[in-house]
Amino acid sequence: MTTTRPAWAPEGVDIERPAAARAYDYVLGGTHNFEVDRELARRLTEATPDLAQHARANRAFLQRCTRYLLRRGVRQFLDLGSGIPASGNVHEVALAVEPDTRVMYVDIDPVAVAHSEQILADVPQSAIIHGDLRKADEILDNPETRSLLDLDQPVAVLLLAILHAMSDADDPYDIVNRLMDRLAPGSYLVVSHSTFERRPEEARKMEELSKQSPTALRMRSRSDITRFFDGLEVVDPGITWVSQWHLEEDGGVFAADQSDMLLCGVGRKP
């Protein structure tokens, strides 16, 4: 059966093939997804019944690290693989605390970009561009990026739940290194990444199922994830679970959604 294209879906988007950003949107309770995305999300949830819990824990980590970095003087954020906007996105958290904060979102999915453009139309100092993380220099050199962000001043690069969508052949370590090399001292790298260490069988099933979409998962070990921070000063408590990182940024409330599949870390460029 052919899926009817909804009014919000840009022309040219393949609505018969699942996309990771839209499946993630469905898991978080969003509505900007197609039946193929929902079916993929359902199959992933069969493999990992608490998948939505991990997604919410990752979202809460995004909000906590945004507040943490704002308190350390960061006023520029580059959110790569930002996905389809959900409540509590970076600009919502940041602008409520520091109105002069600038936020650039980047995503490869046209639906995520189109929906973000609608939401950000009247938001000061926030924008989104279509971009591929594998072409990091193009993202940094994009005129819209350069007009919004001052790369001579510290920038927080957010790579949440995106690096595990890159294969080893993509050389994600080189991509991260090139990004951080271009940024000013005092910039930060924020990463969350799926791991197979606690739940190897579920992780293997998720990797296999994800091959149905253009963004197959490549889960990595704690030591592999730590490598992304080579040359950076890793913030305490180091590489840990997303649901355990700096809970005081939530007012000391214990995180409701726990995760033992998503590791995270924050590193500062000296």
d(CA 217, CA 223): 17
Q: How many CB atoms lie within 10 A of CB 248?
A: 10
Residue 190: pLDDT over 90: yes
In this structure, the chain runs to a length of 270
Lowest mean pLDDT: which of 56-60, 112-116, 217-221, 238-242? 112-116
- Residue 1 pLDDT grade (very low, low, confident, very high; cuts 50, 70, 90): very low
Cα angle, residue 234 at apex, residues 83 and 255 outer, rounded to 5°: 55
pLDDT tens digits along 4-32: 666 556 555 566 778 777 887 888 788 77
Cα angle, residue 96 at apex, residues 90 and 100 outer, rounded to 5°: 80
Average pLDDT for 196-222? 86
Q: Are 263 and 222 in contact (CB under 8 A)?
A: yes
Q: For the chain, what is the mean pLDDT? A: 89
Q: Which of 193, 196, 181, 270 is nearest to 239 (CA)?
A: 193
- Residue 186 pLDDT grade (very low, low, confident, very high; cuts 50, 70, 90): very high
How far does Cα 241 stand from its chain's mean position? 15
Q: State the pLDDT at residue 9.
A: 60
Average pLDDT for 138-164? 97
How far does Cα 190 stand from its chain's mean position? 9
Fold for domain 53-198+224-268?
Rossmann fold (3.40.50)
Q: State the pLDDT at residue 128.
A: 96
pLDDT tens digits along 100-141: 999 999 999 888 898 889 889 999 899 999 999 999 999 999
